[in-house]
Each structure stands twice: as C-alpha cells, then as structure tokens.
Structure 1
C-alpha cells in the first residue's frame, strides 16, 4: 500500500446559535426559532427536495439535469462571516443575507470540516456534510443590498475571494426531526487522509 498519512476520526461539540429558512423566491433567508426537517430538507425552503436541477457548479452535466440534492441545508459560522467581512472592509455579514439555514458556534474552522462529517443534534436530528459551499457573486450582491449599497459591484465581487473556505458547509438530512436554537450538536469527523497516488 502507498504510504498515506491517516488522521484518526474525532468529535467536536458545538451549539446552534441561529436558524433560518428561505421561504421566498430567492436564497435570502429569515430567522426562525426552530427548523422542521424531513427527508427533503426544510419544509417550504427554497432548497428543499430529494433532487435538484444541476447548474453552473456541475459543468459535467447538461444544465438542468435532475440530480441528488446534497444542498438541502446551508450551515455557517458567524466567526467566519466576521473574518470575511473584515477582508471586505465592511462591519458585518448577516447569515441570512447569504442564505444560511443554520449557524453553529464552538466548532473552529467550521468550513473546513471534511465531507462525510456527521452532525448529531441533541433533539435527534442527524445531518451529513457533503462539502464546502463555494462563495458566489449572487451572495455578494445580497450583502451589498443588505448594507444599502446595492449598486456597489466591487463590494459584491469582493465576497468571492473573502469568503473562500469560509462560506460554510452544505449538508443533507440523514435523520429528520426538529432543531431548536441553543441545541447542542456533536460533529463526528471521519478518518481523513490525502489521496496522492498517481
């Protein structure tokens, strides 16, 4: 076997410090006290569904191809949003401006949790992390609008580099149920390695 460094699995405990749902016609979300999750994600949320249509993030499929929806839940860190805001030279980025469904505290470098991390919530819900969410100009435009600077194209575009590896995680529902603000969450990171064989 090729020499591979293996990092053992581990657990990190955090808490839910915000919940949001996007029930309008775009991805911008609004704060809620709890989320009701089904196998399809958040009821009535823009990103709910067992499947979704492929887009620019999946250039290997013709646009509009029906595929598994791994983007049911968007999870962010307020600390990482604050770091991105600092790079953009603005005072804040509100989670709902960029379509958050949930913010977690107590988990350092949240956006760097590996794919297949399981998030176990004390109320019984389990979410499975698919991968990092990539920052895009549409979220940048929403930030500019949120700050009353909707015509500031430079500000909108600055979000993409500022939020790289800080844009949070995409997850899907493994065990449905309810999640409340303040709930404890345990992140169980899988064993990790770098695949470098030629």
Structure 2
C-alpha cells in the first residue's frame, strides 16, 4: 500500500502574546426592540450576555453574515456584545464629513479606551475586568448599511453617509464578543486585554 505523502508547509512566523491595559468609558444596552442602545451605569452579564437585550441570548438566528446556513437557522450567539473605541469612531466620522458618531447610534455596548487599533484585536483575546467579568473576543464587526442608515438619521448626510459608512468603517467598526465569565461591568472600570499568540496559517 502506497503511503500518502503529507504536504510540506513552511513554518509560520509566530508573534508572542501580550497584555494591554484598558478602561471602560461608557456602557450601553437596548431598552426596547430597536437597534440603538441607551447609556447605563452598569451592565449585568450572564452567559447569554445582557438579559433582555436585542443581541442577548445563548443562541441567535443566522443572517447575511452566515451565507453557509439557511437564513434564520438557530446557531451559537458569539455576537452578544459590541465593543467600540472613541478614536476609531472619530476617524470614521471625519471620513464621512460629520461631527461625530455616538456608540449608541450603532448599537454599541462598551466604549473602551487604551487599546490601540481596537478593531484589530484577534479572535480569542480575553478581556479580564477588575470586578470579575471575562469577555472573549470573537472577531471584528463588519460595518453594514443598517448602521450607516442609523448614523445618517442622527447626523444627516443621507445616502452618502449610509453607503459611505460601510467603506469608511472597515476595520474600524469595533469588535463582537461573548461572555466567558459573568458578572457586572461598571463605568470607568479597568480591564486587561490578554492577546494570544498569533500566526498566519501557511496552508
């Protein structure tokens, strides 16, 4: 029997993990059925995220982001929380020619400071909050026209802003995360981001 030859891969460059200190500038949640969030002083988080929140729950329904499933297929909810950074929001607003983009306009849950290029934190990054909560980053949040329309409704600019947001916010739309260890996050609370080892798979 002929032995199957295994492919030979070059060894990838491995970048060591690191730790970065950050701080919570603002907390937000949905209080109704709408997309926008409202500022709150604390977020009480369970394994399903924010109880009663639009994006809460252990599972969610698939949509346009998951073309490999039939729409509305029940799946694991890895998008329980939306994290945003003020410098990225300001950069997107400047590119769109508007004064500001507020986190609540685009459904943000946490506005955080101290993490350079927040949207580029890799999957599996863990955020350890000083009061005990741990969040796990699933990945970056792709910008969509729905969020662009919400910004245009608040800041003006019409279709130019609605459509322009998708391009302007690419890799600056923040992150989505899920709750690994529940508890309560408070405004101004500090946290540590533990970034794992990273590499590009050579196959």
TM-score by length of 2: 0.94
Alpha-carbon distance, 1:22 to partner: 1.2
- Corresponding residue number in structure 2 for 1:174: 180
**Among candidates 104, 110, 114, match of residue 96 of structure 1:** 104
Q: RMSD of the TM alignment (CA)?
A: 1.0
Asked whether the 8 Å contact 2:103–2:111 carries over to 1, the reply is yes
Alpha-carbon distance, 1:24 to partner: 1.6
Q: Which consecutive aligned stretches of 4+ in structure 1 deviate over 2 angstroms post-superposition?
A: none
1:186 aligns with 2:189: no
Alpha-carbon distance, 1:139 to partner: 0.4
Unaligned 5+ residue runs, structure 1?
Answer: none
Write the distance in 1 (CA, Å) between the matches of 2:126 and 2:92. Answer: 25
Write the distance in 2 (CA, Å) between the matches of 1:109 and 1:174. Answer: 23
TM-score by length of 1: 0.96
Write the distance in 2 (CA, Å) between the matches of 1:71 and 1:188. Answer: 19
Write the distance in 1 (CA, Å) between the matches of 2:202 and 2:188. Answer: 40
- Corresponding residue number in structure 1 for 2:121: 113
Asked whether the 8 Å contact 2:37–2:104 carries over to 1, the reply is yes
Q: Who wins on radius of gyration, i.e. which is larger?
A: 2
Unaligned 5+ residue runs, structure 2?
Answer: 1-8
Alignment of 1:1-198 (within 5 A): 2-147=10-155, 149=156, 152-197=158-203
Q: Secondary structure at the match of 2:82?
A: strand
Alpha-carbon distance, 1:25 to partner: 1.4
Aligned length: 195
Write the distance in 1 (CA, Å) between the matches of 2:134 and 2:144. Answer: 27
